[in-house]
């Protein structure tokens, strides 16, 4: 029911208040039969359109646009459609004597509902003066029954958790002193236990099918990190190991993306099943096992397997991340060592080059000095009188000393200038 709130209220307050009463419980007036079916269907609009079409055919108002719940009273029965996260639930409370209330009879809903049926429950509700200690539901020979008292000893519930000819899991509910509201809540809890149990179990085949991939990825990680004996296919280099880890990381991310929603939903549905079982307040009937004990034999191990697979995936992703970090560090260290060796080699070559250059410079000094002396000697010969006089010999000797001094001084000045420019360049860098 819509409520007009004040201007100072939060814009979402009305919607949040309405959510509290979004899924009302149908009253169950015993004797009656409750039928409940859940269809996995991602297209909520298609399910709503089917419900609107059916309501139009029986002459009642259909669900509003965008609605996730619709309740109809028709032909003495109460019908309800509600949309959940990934499935639609169809429930009807039939009065005694209705044709669809007969055991093994098909449900009263017409065919054509969208989606695939994942759960179907039929609950026969009776009012008794004394709670029976024997099953009030018939199952095939050899099928184990679960039976317990609930609601503080005011009702008994019996089921074999097996489907009848119409595909419904049958429950027998004997109530003593429960009003229609409490009886309706009890019926709803039983519906939800079966529905949430089956939707949670959708994760089990996913977990089972991933086992081979996880074994392969685990072996790849061991190979990449050297966890296997040498000579058994371990990578020959850190780069090859890192490449193997990158491929494993890609596959793990693909598995996580494919299963994360399913595994998360399974954990949430498991919590709901356990919560509903707790709300039943089960008490043991001598010679029979409780529903929670019955489910603990197979449902709980299946959910534990799903949870273990999810933890294994997450642990594998963490191992790959750690191993990749270690391998990258190892590769960086190897590259640093190679770079250091390369620099040392370059330094040795530079020293050899410097020595060679110094040798060449020494020879160059001699050569330049010789050619300069020769030119000046020719000049002195041209102006001296006579060319072979003793004075000429002294002048020639002095020219040798002068030329050598000038060339050596020029070389030293040039070297100092080059060193000064080199130091200035180092400071700029």
Average predicted confidence (pLDDT) for the chain:
83
Is pLDDT above 70 for 422?
no
Q: How confident is the model at residue 428 (pLDDT cuts 50, 70, 90)?
A: low
Q: How confident is the model at residue 227 (pLDDT cuts 50, 70, 90)?
A: low
According to the model, what pLDDT value does residue 423 have?
A: 67
According to the model, what pLDDT value does residue 232 have?
A: 44
Task: Please compute the mean of the pLDDT values over residues 11-30 and round it to a whole number.
Answer: 77
According to the model, what pLDDT value does residue 229 have?
A: 42
According to the model, what pLDDT value does residue 382 have?
A: 61
According to the model, what pLDDT value does residue 165 have?
A: 86
Digit-coded pLDDT (tens) for 365-392: 777 777 777 777 766 666 655 555 566 6
Is pLDDT above 60 for 364?
yes
From 167-176, 207-216, 340-349, 352-361, the region with the lowest mean pLDDT? 352-361
Digit-coded pLDDT (tens) for 71-120: 999 888 999 999 988 899 999 999 988 888 887 788 889 888 999 999 99
SS (H, E, C) the chain: CCCCCCCCCCCCHHHHHHHHCCCCCCCCCCCEEEEEEEEECCCHHHHHHHHHHHHHHHCCCCCCCCCCEEEEEECCEEEEEEECCCEEEEEEEEECCCHHHCCCCCCCCCCCCCCEEEEEEEEEEEECCCCCCCCCCCCCCCCCCEEEEECCCCEEEEEEEEECCCCCEEEEEEECCCCHHHHHHHHHHHHHHHHHHHHHCCHHHHHHHCHHHHHHHHHHHHHHCCCCCCCCCCCCCHHHHHHHHHHHHHHHHHHHHHHHHHHHHHHHHHHHHHHHHHHHCCEECCCCECHHHHHHCCHHHHHHHHHHHHHHHHHHHHHHHHHHHHHHHHHHHHHHHHHHHHHHHHHHHHHHHHHHHHHHHHHHHHHHHHHHHHHHHHHHHHHCCCCCCHHHHHHHHHHHHHHHHHHHHHHHHHHHHHHHHHHHHHHHC
């Amino acid at each position: 029911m819509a409520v007009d709130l004040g201007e100072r209220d939060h814009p979402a307050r009305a919607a949040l208040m309405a959510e509290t009463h979004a899924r009302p419980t149908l009253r169950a007036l015993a004797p009656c039969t409750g039928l409940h079916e859940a269809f996995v269907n991602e297209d909520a609009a298609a399910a709503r359109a089917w419900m609107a079409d059916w309501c139009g055919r029986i002459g009642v108002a259909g669900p509003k646009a965008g609605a996730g719940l619709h309740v109809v009273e028709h032909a003495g029965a109460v019908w309800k459609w509600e949309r959940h996260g990934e499935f639609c639930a169809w429930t009807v409370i039939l009065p005694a004597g209705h044709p669809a209330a007969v055991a093994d009879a098909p449900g009263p809903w017409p065919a054509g509902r969208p989606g695939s049926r994942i759960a179907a429950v039929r609950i026969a509700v009776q009012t008794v003066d004394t709670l029976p200690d024997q099953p009030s539901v018939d199952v095939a020979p050899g099928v184990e029954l679960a039976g317990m008292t609930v609601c503080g000893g005011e009702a008994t519930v019996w089921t074999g958790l097996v489907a009848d000819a119409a595909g419904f899991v049958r429950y027998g509910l004997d109530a003593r002193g429960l009003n229609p509201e409490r009886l309706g809540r009890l019926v709803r809890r039983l519906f939800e236990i079966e529905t949430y149990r089956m939707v949670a179990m959708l994760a089990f085949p996913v977990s089972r099918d991933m086992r081979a991939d996880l074994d392969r990825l685990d072996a790849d990680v061991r190979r990449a990190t050297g966890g296997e004996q040498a000579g058994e296919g371990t990578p020959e280099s850190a780069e090859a190991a890192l490449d193997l880890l990158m491929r494993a990381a890609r596959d793990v991310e693909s598995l996580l993306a494919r299963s994360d929603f399913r595994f998360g939903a399974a954990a949430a549905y498991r919590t709901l099943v356990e919560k509903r079982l707790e709300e039943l307040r089960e008490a043991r009937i001598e010679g029979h096992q409780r529903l929670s004990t019955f489910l603990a034999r197979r449902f709980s191990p299946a959910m534990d397997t799903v949870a273990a697979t999810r933890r294994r995936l997450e642990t594998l992703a963490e191992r790959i991340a750690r191993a990749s970090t270690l391998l990258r560090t190892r590769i960086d260290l190897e590259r640093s060592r190679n770079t250091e060796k390369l620099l040392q080699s370059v330094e040795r070559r530079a020293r050899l080059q410097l020595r060679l250059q110094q040798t060449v410079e020494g020879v160059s000094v001699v050569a330049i000095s010789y050619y300069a002396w020769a030119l000046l000697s020719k000049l002195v010969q041209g102006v001296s009188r006579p060319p072979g006089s003793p004075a000429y010999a002294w002048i020639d000797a002095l020219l040798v000393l002068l030329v050598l001094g000038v060339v050596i001084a020029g070389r030293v000045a040039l070297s100092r200038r080059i060193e000064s420019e080199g130091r200035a360049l180092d400071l700029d860098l």
